[in-house]
Amino acid sequence: MPRTPQLCIVQTIPREGPGLIGALAMERGWQLQLTQLWTDQPLPQPQQGQAFLLLGGSASANDDDGRIPELVRLCQYLLDQRIPVMGICLGLQVLAKAKGCVIRAARQRELGWLDPQGQPWTLHQTPAGRNHPLLRGLPDPLPVFQLHGEEVVPESSVETMASSSLCHNQIAALGSAAYGVQGHMELDRDMADRWFVEDDDLRSIAHQAQLNKAGLEALVPVGRVLYGNWLTLASWQLASAWGQASSPEDDGGPPGGRQRGR
Protein backbone atom coordinates (compact mmCIF):
# COMPACT_ATOMS: atom_id res chain seq x y z
CA MET A 1 0.00 0.00 0.00
CA PRO A 2 1.20 3.60 -0.58
CA ARG A 3 2.89 5.13 2.42
CA THR A 4 1.66 8.35 4.03
CA PRO A 5 4.11 11.23 3.50
CA GLN A 6 5.01 13.42 6.46
CA LEU A 7 5.57 17.17 6.37
CA CYS A 8 8.05 18.29 9.03
CA ILE A 9 7.38 21.97 9.75
CA VAL A 10 10.06 24.01 11.50
CA GLN A 11 8.53 27.17 13.01
CA THR A 12 10.95 29.75 14.41
CA ILE A 13 8.53 32.20 16.08
CA PRO A 14 4.91 31.76 17.22
CA ARG A 15 3.24 34.18 14.79
CA GLU A 16 4.83 32.72 11.64
CA GLY A 17 3.03 29.43 11.11
CA PRO A 18 2.44 27.35 8.00
CA GLY A 19 -0.73 29.25 7.08
CA LEU A 20 -2.59 27.75 4.15
CA ILE A 21 0.16 25.16 3.55
CA GLY A 22 -0.79 23.12 6.61
CA ALA A 23 -4.43 22.89 5.56
CA LEU A 24 -3.46 22.14 1.98
CA ALA A 25 -1.13 19.34 3.05
CA MET A 26 -3.78 17.74 5.26
CA GLU A 27 -6.31 17.94 2.41
CA ARG A 28 -3.86 15.84 0.41
CA GLY A 29 -3.39 13.26 3.13
CA TRP A 30 -0.04 14.36 4.54
CA GLN A 31 0.76 13.93 8.21
CA LEU A 32 2.14 17.05 9.90
CA GLN A 33 4.94 17.21 12.44
CA LEU A 34 5.57 20.62 13.99
CA THR A 35 8.80 21.70 15.67
CA GLN A 36 8.73 25.01 17.55
CA LEU A 37 12.27 26.33 17.54
CA TRP A 38 11.75 28.79 20.42
CA THR A 39 11.21 25.82 22.76
CA ASP A 40 13.66 23.08 23.67
CA GLN A 41 12.15 20.72 21.09
CA PRO A 42 14.91 19.00 19.11
CA LEU A 43 14.94 19.39 15.36
CA PRO A 44 13.55 16.38 13.50
CA GLN A 45 15.94 13.62 12.53
CA PRO A 46 15.17 13.19 8.80
CA GLN A 47 13.65 9.85 7.92
CA GLN A 48 12.39 8.24 4.76
CA GLY A 49 9.04 9.62 3.64
CA GLN A 50 9.55 13.12 5.07
CA ALA A 51 9.58 16.52 3.41
CA PHE A 52 10.53 19.70 5.27
CA LEU A 53 8.96 23.15 5.46
CA LEU A 54 11.14 25.88 7.00
CA LEU A 55 9.19 28.98 7.98
CA GLY A 56 10.10 32.64 8.41
CA GLY A 57 11.07 34.61 11.47
CA SER A 58 12.89 37.63 12.81
CA ALA A 59 16.33 36.03 13.09
CA SER A 60 19.08 36.22 10.47
CA ALA A 61 20.60 33.27 8.67
CA ASN A 62 23.95 34.87 9.59
CA ASP A 63 23.32 34.50 13.34
CA ASP A 64 26.03 32.45 15.00
CA ASP A 65 24.15 31.95 18.25
CA GLY A 66 20.75 30.59 19.24
CA ARG A 67 19.39 27.75 17.10
CA ILE A 68 20.13 29.14 13.65
CA PRO A 69 23.50 27.29 13.30
CA GLU A 70 21.68 24.09 14.23
CA LEU A 71 19.09 24.79 11.54
CA VAL A 72 21.82 25.49 8.97
CA ARG A 73 23.35 22.09 9.72
CA LEU A 74 19.98 20.40 9.21
CA CYS A 75 19.64 22.20 5.88
CA GLN A 76 23.08 21.02 4.79
CA TYR A 77 21.93 17.45 5.40
CA LEU A 78 18.65 17.99 3.55
CA LEU A 79 20.51 19.41 0.56
CA ASP A 80 23.14 16.67 0.58
CA GLN A 81 20.53 13.91 0.77
CA ARG A 82 18.16 15.59 -1.70
CA ILE A 83 15.30 15.50 0.78
CA PRO A 84 12.35 17.64 -0.39
CA VAL A 85 12.42 21.00 1.37
CA MET A 86 10.74 24.38 1.00
CA GLY A 87 12.06 27.46 2.77
CA ILE A 88 9.99 30.61 3.24
CA CYS A 89 11.65 33.98 3.95
CA LEU A 90 14.19 33.16 6.69
CA GLY A 91 13.77 29.52 5.63
CA LEU A 92 14.99 30.35 2.12
CA GLN A 93 17.93 32.30 3.52
CA VAL A 94 18.95 29.49 5.88
CA LEU A 95 18.80 27.00 3.01
CA ALA A 96 20.95 29.32 0.91
CA LYS A 97 23.40 29.78 3.80
CA ALA A 98 23.69 26.01 4.09
CA LYS A 99 24.45 25.88 0.38
CA GLY A 100 27.31 28.34 0.85
CA CYS A 101 25.54 31.44 -0.46
CA VAL A 102 25.98 34.93 0.97
CA ILE A 103 23.07 36.51 2.83
CA ARG A 104 23.22 40.31 2.95
CA ALA A 105 21.11 43.31 3.88
CA ALA A 106 18.67 44.11 1.11
CA ARG A 107 18.99 47.43 -0.74
CA GLN A 108 15.57 48.31 0.62
CA ARG A 109 13.32 46.49 3.05
CA GLU A 110 10.23 45.02 1.41
CA LEU A 111 7.26 45.28 3.75
CA GLY A 112 3.54 44.67 3.58
CA TRP A 113 1.20 44.83 0.63
CA LEU A 114 2.52 47.93 -1.16
CA ASP A 115 5.86 48.96 -2.64
CA PRO A 116 7.36 52.45 -2.11
CA GLN A 117 5.29 53.77 -5.03
CA GLY A 118 2.09 52.59 -3.37
CA GLN A 119 1.57 49.73 -5.83
CA PRO A 120 1.03 46.08 -4.84
CA TRP A 121 4.24 44.09 -4.61
CA THR A 122 4.61 41.76 -7.58
CA LEU A 123 7.11 39.16 -8.72
CA HIS A 124 8.02 38.53 -12.34
CA GLN A 125 8.79 35.03 -13.52
CA THR A 126 12.12 34.37 -15.22
CA PRO A 127 12.37 32.12 -18.30
CA ALA A 128 13.41 29.30 -15.95
CA GLY A 129 10.35 29.91 -13.80
CA ARG A 130 7.95 29.90 -16.73
CA ASN A 131 9.12 26.40 -17.59
CA HIS A 132 9.31 24.97 -14.08
CA PRO A 133 6.58 22.78 -12.54
CA LEU A 134 6.72 24.76 -9.28
CA LEU A 135 5.10 27.73 -11.05
CA ARG A 136 2.76 25.72 -13.27
CA GLY A 137 -0.63 27.40 -13.63
CA LEU A 138 0.42 30.67 -11.96
CA PRO A 139 -0.05 34.18 -13.35
CA ASP A 140 2.84 36.43 -14.30
CA PRO A 141 3.36 38.75 -12.50
CA LEU A 142 2.58 37.17 -9.12
CA PRO A 143 1.08 38.99 -6.13
CA VAL A 144 2.99 38.66 -2.86
CA PHE A 145 3.09 39.93 0.73
CA GLN A 146 6.57 41.03 1.75
CA LEU A 147 8.36 41.07 5.10
CA HIS A 148 12.14 40.96 4.85
CA GLY A 149 15.25 43.09 5.12
CA GLU A 150 17.85 40.57 3.97
CA GLU A 151 18.32 38.71 0.71
CA VAL A 152 20.22 35.89 -0.96
CA VAL A 153 23.04 37.20 -3.14
CA PRO A 154 22.57 36.03 -6.74
CA GLU A 155 24.92 33.28 -7.83
CA SER A 156 25.01 30.62 -10.53
CA SER A 157 24.25 27.70 -8.21
CA VAL A 158 20.83 29.17 -7.38
CA GLU A 159 18.23 29.04 -10.15
CA THR A 160 16.06 32.14 -9.89
CA MET A 161 12.46 31.51 -10.96
CA ALA A 162 10.85 34.79 -9.93
CA SER A 163 12.38 38.16 -9.17
CA SER A 164 11.58 41.77 -8.34
CA SER A 165 13.33 45.04 -8.99
CA LEU A 166 14.56 45.24 -5.39
CA CYS A 167 15.37 41.57 -4.69
CA HIS A 168 16.65 39.08 -7.25
CA ASN A 169 15.96 35.74 -5.58
CA GLN A 170 12.26 35.88 -4.76
CA ILE A 171 11.48 32.29 -5.78
CA ALA A 172 14.42 30.00 -6.31
CA ALA A 173 15.58 26.42 -6.73
CA LEU A 174 18.59 25.56 -4.58
CA GLY A 175 18.87 21.92 -5.61
CA SER A 176 16.94 19.12 -7.26
CA ALA A 177 14.53 18.92 -4.29
CA ALA A 178 15.07 22.28 -2.54
CA TYR A 179 13.08 25.45 -3.16
CA GLY A 180 12.61 28.78 -1.47
CA VAL A 181 10.21 31.73 -1.53
CA GLN A 182 11.38 35.07 -0.13
CA GLY A 183 7.93 36.62 0.23
CA HIS A 184 4.83 35.27 1.89
CA MET A 185 2.29 33.41 -0.22
CA GLU A 186 1.33 31.09 2.63
CA LEU A 187 -0.51 33.91 4.37
CA ASP A 188 -4.07 33.44 5.65
CA ARG A 189 -6.40 35.96 7.32
CA ASP A 190 -5.52 35.10 10.91
CA MET A 191 -1.80 35.43 10.20
CA ALA A 192 -2.17 38.70 8.30
CA ASP A 193 -4.22 40.30 11.06
CA ARG A 194 -1.85 39.09 13.78
CA TRP A 195 1.30 40.24 11.98
CA PHE A 196 0.19 43.87 11.75
CA VAL A 197 -0.41 43.86 15.52
CA GLU A 198 2.69 41.96 16.68
CA ASP A 199 5.45 42.55 14.12
CA ASP A 200 7.62 45.59 14.82
CA ASP A 201 8.39 46.13 11.13
CA LEU A 202 4.72 46.10 10.14
CA ARG A 203 3.61 48.46 12.92
CA SER A 204 5.22 51.31 10.97
CA ILE A 205 2.80 50.64 8.10
CA ALA A 206 -0.16 49.53 10.22
CA HIS A 207 -2.54 51.44 7.94
CA GLN A 208 -1.95 48.74 5.32
CA ALA A 209 -3.86 46.26 7.49
CA GLN A 210 -7.00 47.65 5.87
CA LEU A 211 -5.80 45.97 2.65
CA ASN A 212 -5.77 42.48 4.17
CA LYS A 213 -9.12 41.40 2.77
CA ALA A 214 -8.48 42.55 -0.80
CA GLY A 215 -4.85 41.46 -0.73
CA LEU A 216 -5.68 37.97 0.46
CA GLU A 217 -8.42 37.60 -2.14
CA ALA A 218 -5.68 37.84 -4.77
CA LEU A 219 -2.94 36.07 -2.81
CA VAL A 220 -4.62 32.96 -1.38
CA PRO A 221 -5.51 31.35 -4.76
CA VAL A 222 -1.92 31.90 -5.90
CA GLY A 223 -0.55 30.44 -2.66
CA ARG A 224 -2.73 27.36 -2.99
CA VAL A 225 -1.50 26.72 -6.53
CA LEU A 226 2.16 27.39 -5.71
CA TYR A 227 2.29 25.23 -2.61
CA GLY A 228 0.02 22.63 -4.17
CA ASN A 229 2.60 22.36 -6.94
CA TRP A 230 5.35 21.98 -4.35
CA LEU A 231 3.49 19.25 -2.47
CA THR A 232 2.99 17.46 -5.79
CA LEU A 233 6.71 17.62 -6.54
CA ALA A 234 7.63 16.56 -3.01
CA SER A 235 5.22 13.62 -2.98
CA TRP A 236 6.53 12.45 -6.34
CA GLN A 237 10.13 12.68 -5.10
CA LEU A 238 9.25 10.72 -1.96
CA ALA A 239 7.33 8.08 -3.90
CA SER A 240 10.24 7.75 -6.32
CA ALA A 241 12.55 7.12 -3.36
CA TRP A 242 10.14 4.40 -2.21
CA GLY A 243 10.16 2.93 -5.71
CA GLN A 244 6.42 3.52 -6.10
CA ALA A 245 6.09 6.25 -8.68
CA SER A 246 6.37 6.08 -12.43
CA SER A 247 4.84 9.53 -12.97
CA PRO A 248 3.82 12.47 -10.79
CA GLU A 249 0.75 13.03 -12.95
CA ASP A 250 -1.26 11.04 -10.40
CA ASP A 251 -0.73 13.88 -7.90
CA GLY A 252 -1.60 16.85 -10.01
CA GLY A 253 0.73 17.32 -12.94
CA PRO A 254 3.92 16.60 -14.85
CA PRO A 255 7.37 17.18 -13.37
CA GLY A 256 8.33 19.53 -16.19
CA GLY A 257 6.68 22.17 -18.34
CA ARG A 258 3.51 24.16 -17.73
CA GLN A 259 -0.01 23.24 -18.75
CA ARG A 260 18.12 39.33 9.45
CA GLY A 261 15.57 37.43 7.82
CA ARG A 262 13.65 40.74 7.78
What pLDDT, on a 0 to 100 scale, did the predictor assign at position 262?
A: 55
> Each residue of 201-256: pLDDT tens digit?
999 999 999 999 999 999 999 999 999 999 999 999 999 887 754 444 444 443 33
What pLDDT, on a 0 to 100 scale, did the predictor assign at position 249?
A: 41
Cβ–Cβ < 8 Å for 94, 61: yes
Superfamily for the 6-251 domain? Class I glutamine amidotransferase (GATase) domain (3.40.50.880)
- Say how many CA atoms lie within 13 Å of 39 toward its Cβ: 9
What pLDDT, on a 0 to 100 scale, did the predictor assign at position 243?
A: 72
Residues 6+ apart with CB under 8 A from 82: 175, 176, 177, 178, 237
Cβ–Cβ < 8 Å for 186, 20: yes
Residues 6+ apart with CB under 8 A from 87: 54, 75, 93, 94, 95, 96, 174, 178, 179, 180, 181
What pLDDT, on a 0 to 100 scale, did the predictor assign at position 241?
A: 83
> Each residue of 18-48: pLDDT tens digit?
999 999 999 999 999 999 999 999 999 999 9
| Rg, C-alpha atoms of the chain | 17
Q: Both ends of the chain: CA-CA distance in Å? A: 44
* Residue 53 Rama label (left phi>0; alpha psi -120 to 50; beta): beta
What pLDDT, on a 0 to 100 scale, did the predictor assign at position 242?
A: 75
Residue type, 43: L
What's the pLDDT band for 260 if we cut at 50, 70, 90? very low
Global pTM value: 0.92
> Each residue of 78-134: pLDDT tens digit?
999 999 999 999 999 999 999 999 999 999 999 999 999 999 999 999 999 999 999
φ/ψ (deg, to 5) at 178: -125, 130
Question: Does residue 148 carry a pLDDT above 50?
Answer: yes
φ/ψ (deg, to 5) at 184: -115, 105
Higher pLDDT: 3 or 180? It is: 180
3-state secondary structure of 125: strand
